[in-house]
Structure formats: C-alpha cells, structure tokens
C-alpha cells in the first residue's frame, strides 16, 4: 500500500515523461499493464466466474458470463469519463483559453478514479493469488499502470490534479486497504472487483497509447507486454 502511495505522490515529478513523441517508459508501462490483465487477471476471472455462478444459481442465462460483462462495464465507464474530460478541455480552451477541464468535470473524473483506486487498495488483501509472488506481480503491474494514469490525469486537469486530485487518489488507496483489513467479502465479489479493474486498465492504457498526436512507440509497448508476459510464464 505504501508503495502505491509513493508512486502517486512522486509520479508528477517525473518530468522526463512529458514529451512528444511519447516517452518509451510510459509505453513500456502500458504494455506491462495490459499484459498483466490478459496474462494474469483474465485467467483468474475464469475461476471467479464459477464463484459468481454458484452465487446466482437461478439467475438468467446471460449471467453465466457476468464477470466479463462487469469488465465491459468498467471499460465503458472509463471511456465515458475520458470523453467527458476531452470535451471539457476543448470547451475551456475555446471559452477561456485554458487547457484544463472545468471544476465539475475534474471532480467527476477524480471520483471515478477514486473508486478505481479503492478497488486496487482493497485487492491488495483479497486477491485470488495471495502469495508473495502474487503480491509482487500485482504491485509491479499496478505501480507502472499508475505512471500511465497519473500522466493522463495531469494532462487533463493540470494544477488541480497536482494540488488536489492526486491526494484524493492516495486517500482512496489507503481507504480501500483499510476496508480490506476490517472486512472480508465473498469470492464472487472479489471476482467482480477484479473484472471492473481489468476493464479499466485496458481502456486507460489504450486511450493513452492510441491517439495519433501522442506519437506512441509501438515497439516499446510491445516490449513491455512481451517482457512481462514472459516473466509471468516463467514464475
């Protein structure tokens, strides 16, 4: 948990990441994040789906794939708030000459990522793989993912994110960890949280890598994804 807090607090100081073409380190971090989802989280979701099926034995047929629908909803949610932030920045530039979102959109965006961080903090203590190896894999992937998301949030919200937003997200991580310390929920609920996280990770990485103006480095993204996949298979 402390490691995640440190990453959030100091990621804004890594000014060498603020460049065009996109920093190779951000592309590598994005590749690692996506590799974690497809190489580790999705296989775990398959097992988690069994727990959900048992919890909803009499549910409609479509709930047989409920965990994957949650992942889709996570992706859709973060796509929606991303589009909202982009539209707000455009209006602010046209109306006020400021390349930042409006205060209302800032809080909507930060609230969505606070829920995201709350889930990440909670899953520190309640994952399918609770071994030291599992923790190391989770911490490495999410820490690198935070570099990607922090960079994107700072681009959208500027001074507001540095002054306020990142501290809200730190509090959310700590709150999730504390909740995990004092409560224990069902295996089905943990699977739902992991699914939501998976959808969010995929969207938040790809929306940073795909825009043409970012001039992202595909080879660096591929190296991060391939290298981390090889590591997952090796351990």
Lookup: tokens for 8: 């959030």
Q: Quick one: pLDDT at residue 80? A: 92
Lookup: tokens for 172: 């959310």
Q: How many CB atoms lie within 10 A of CB 231?
A: 15
The helix/strand/coil state of 106 is: helix
Q: Quick one: pLDDT at residue 191? A: 78
Q: How many CB atoms lie within 10 A of CB 178?
A: 14
Question: In Å, how far are 34, 67, 78, 89 from 42, measured between CA atoms?
Answer: 11, 10, 19, 34
In the chain, what are the domain boundaries?
22-234
Question: In Å, how far are 98, 114, 150, 154 from 11, measured between CA atoms?
Answer: 23, 17, 7, 10
Are 14 and 166 in contact by the 8 Å Cβ rule? The answer is no
Distance CA 228, CA 183 (A): 32
Please give the sequence-ordered ranges of beta strands (E in DSSP) within 178-235, or none if there are none: none
pLDDT mean values, one per 10 residues, the chain (235 residues)? 76 63 77 82 71 58 66 89 90 84 92 90 77 80 84 86 90 91 78 83 78 68 86 77
Are 157 and 100 in contact by the 8 Å Cβ rule? The answer is yes
Q: Quick one: pLDDT at residue 114? A: 92
């Amino acid at each position: 948990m402390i490691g995640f807090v440190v990453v959030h607090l100091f990621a804004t100081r890594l000014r060498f990441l603020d460049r065009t073409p996109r920093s190779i380190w951000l592309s590598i971090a994005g590749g690692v994040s996506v590799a974690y989802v497809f190489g580790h989280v999705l296989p775990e979701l398959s097992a988690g789906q069994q727990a959900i099926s048992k919890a909803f034995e009499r549910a409609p047929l479509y709930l047989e794939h409920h965990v994957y629908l949650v992942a889709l909803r996570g992706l859709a949610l973060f796509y929606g708030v991303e589009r909202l932030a982009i539209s707000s920045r455009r209006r602010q530039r046209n109306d006020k000459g400021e390349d930042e979102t409006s205060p209302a959109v800032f809080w909507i965006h930060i609230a969505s990522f606070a829920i995201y961080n709350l889930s990440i903090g909670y899953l520190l203590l309640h994952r399918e793989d609770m071994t030291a190896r599992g923790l190391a894999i989770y911490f490495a992937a999410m820490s690198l993912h935070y570099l990607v998301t922090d960079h994107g949030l700072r681009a959208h919200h500027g001074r507001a994110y540095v002054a306020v937003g990142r501290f809200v997200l730190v509090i959310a991580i700590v709150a999730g960890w504390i909740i995990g310390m004092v409560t224990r929920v069902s295996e089905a609920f943990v699977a739902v949280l992991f699914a939501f996280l998976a959808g969010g990770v995929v969207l938040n990485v790809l929306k940073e890598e795909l825009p043409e103006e970012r001039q992202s480095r595909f080879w660096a993204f591929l190296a991060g994804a391939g290298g981390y996949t090889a590591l997952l298979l090796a351990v």
